[in-house]
Amino acid sequence: MPTLPARESIALYALLVLAGCHSKPTPERVPDPASQKPARAADAVELGNFSVSLTVKDLAASRAFYERLGFRVIGGAAEQNWLILQNETSTIGLFQGMFPKNMLTFNPGWDRDKQTLADFQDVRELQALLKARGIAFDAEADASTTGPASFVITDPDGNPILVDQHVDRPKR
């Protein structure tokens, strides 16, 4: 079997190491406790993925405006008068003729890419917790269900907050 000259052997070895094809065995990795999600406290409020829902007068004009700001359409249905847009860090919904005013929106059970989380605080749990804290509700989720549900509350300045869960309650 032919052998490589020493210089080429070293270069090949370095390339293999850099490519991850050859390396020295590493000791078992111990997870960093700081990177692990702590257990949820009994009084925790985890509202879920955040976005702003904007009431718009002209969906096409609003879409064009936000696209000039760097947003791109990731969901929705223009023929139904709504679109969801994102940039690198933010999500906005554009809604024409659907809501009386802009609102904050939280989606329990979803990450930023609308992927279902393995564990999250169900909308009905959130509702019970907030009721116990004296929060008044404008619309409530049906506590007897386990599927998608939502509730609406209003902050002291009149801003509506929609907590809108699109997935089933997590299995625990």
pLDDT tens digits, residue range 42-92? 778 999 999 999 999 999 999 999 999 999 999 999 999 999 999 999 999
The pair of structure tokens assigned to 121 is 């605080």
Place of tokens 């847009």: 85
Model pLDDT, residue 41: 72
Contact in structure between 121 and 44 (CB atoms under 8 Å): yes
Edge-to-edge, what's the strand order for the sheet holding 149-154?
72-77, 82-86, 91-96, 49-56, 103-107, 160-165, 149-154, 137-139
> Residues 15, 22: contact at Cβ < 8 Å?
no
pLDDT value, residue 23 = 40
pLDDT at position 44 is 84
- Please state, for a pLDDT cut of 70, what percent of the chain lies above it: 77
Domains contained in the chain, CATH given: 6-35 (no CATH), 49-165 (3.10.180.10)
Q: State the CB neighbour count (10 A cutoff) for residue 49.
A: 18
Which residue did the predictor score with more confidence, 83 or 18?
83
Residue 16 has pLDDT above 80, yes or no: no
Helices (H), the chain: 6-19, 59-68, 123-132
Name the pLDDT band for 36 (thresholds 50, 70, 90). Answer: low
Whether the per-residue pLDDT at 7 is higher than 50: the answer is no
Residue for token pair 């406790």: 33
CB 84 within 8 A of CB 73: yes
pLDDT for 27: 47
| Residues 71/152, Cβ–Cβ less than 8 Å | no
Residue 66, φ and ψ in degrees, nearest 5: -70, -30
pLDDT digits (tens, 9 = 90+) for 117-172: 999 999 999 999 999 999 999 999 999 999 999 999 999 999 999 999 999 998 87
